[in-house]
Amino acid sequence: MRIAFLGTPEFALPSLKMLYERGFVIAVFTQPDRPRDRGHGLKMPPVKELALSLGLPVLQFEKIRSEEGVAALRAFAPDLMVTAAFGQILSGENLSIPKYGCINVHGSLLPKYRGAAPIQWAVVNGEKETGVTTMLTDIGLDCGDILMSRSTEIGGNETSGELYDRLSVMGAELLSETIDALINGSLKRTPQDEAEATRCGMIKKQMAEIDFTKPACRVHDLIRGMNPSPMAYTLLDGQPVKVIRSSLDRCEGVDTEGASCGECIIADSKHGLFVKCGEGCIELCELQFAGSKRMEAKALLNGKKLLNRVFGQ
């Protein structure tokens, strides 16, 4: 089987590697190289790096819907297209090319969390469960028929980065099962329930500022969901402080009486750093102050006085 693989970031790598190891004839389509931070040349998409290391042909398009993109797909003449976090919406012309259509690997249990950042939003919103879905791509945003899905619990302290890595592997496994069912003729299609559909947009940096007036569980979910990027932050004396990891595991019974939201109510190298929230408190486990490296809170408190200081100011 000839497969046109369309993907861009790390999420797509296990799926591409699986297809290669199964011996399919593959051409890889991905986004163009992008400028590095601080202008240090161009950076290849992760999918391109892997494809080149495997000796696979790579074609890059700003818009696969363009005349050139459609022509390149037609020239490869795929039996099947596979997309995994490609980052572009396909056209009807694109989708008409492969004999078996296009299978998309999506990081949520569709129809929930259609859109660009389903994994981060699931964590930010405090979901207890998520998963991966393979779907038959249609024109529109993640609205095609569901082919297969697999669920998983989200750990109480699991970050979106950790979940992202797990779901990328689950997605590759589910894609392999989906292709097997396609080949043996047992693949079934289930239309999505539009009444259950939810949309999620891109995560923006301004969304990462912590509001300590919210319940501790929501603050914790934000910190987990913004890790590794853009990373949750707060202010202290007007300077940003990144909050990398947090926990609620040791917060039960901590006295918050009389404290202000954002106030450091416990802050020493023996016990750690606990901050008052709108409901309850949260332990901040790893932080990064401006101009400093990331540090565990207990180590940080060996040299920094934070007791009764108030974050968010």
pLDDT digits (tens, 9 = 90+) for 266-298: 999 999 999 999 999 999 999 999 999 999 999
Mean of the pLDDT values across residues 236-243?
95
Per-residue model confidence (pLDDT) at position 39: 66
The pLDDT value recorded for residue 287 is 98
Query: What is the mean pLDDT of the segment spanning 75-100?
Result: 96
Q: How confident is the model at residue 36 (pLDDT cuts 50, 70, 90)?
A: confident
Q: State residue 154's pLDDT score.
A: 98
Mean pLDDT across the stretch 63-75? 97
Banded pLDDT at 251 (limits 50, 70, 90): very high
What is the model's pTM? 0.95
Q: Answer yes or no: is pLDDT of 113 > 80.
A: yes
Q: In the prediction, which pLDDT does 7 show?
A: 97
Mean pLDDT of 218-230: 98
Every domain range in the chain assigned CATH 3.10.25.10: 205-300
Task: Let me know if domain 205-300 sits in CATH 3.10.25.10.
Answer: yes
Q: Answer whether residue 140 shows pLDDT above 90.
A: no
Alpha carbon separation from 23 to 11, 16, 34, 173 (Å, rounded): 21, 11, 30, 15
Band (pLDDT 50/70/90 cuts) for residue 141 is confident
Options 3.40.50.960, 3.30.930.10, 3.40.50.11540, 3.40.50.170; CATH of 2-200: 3.40.50.170
What pLDDT shows up at residue 267?
Answer: 97
Residue reference for tokens 């016990």? 271
Q: Which residues belong to CATH 3.40.50.170 in the chain?
A: 2-200
**Is pLDDT above 70 for 90?**
yes
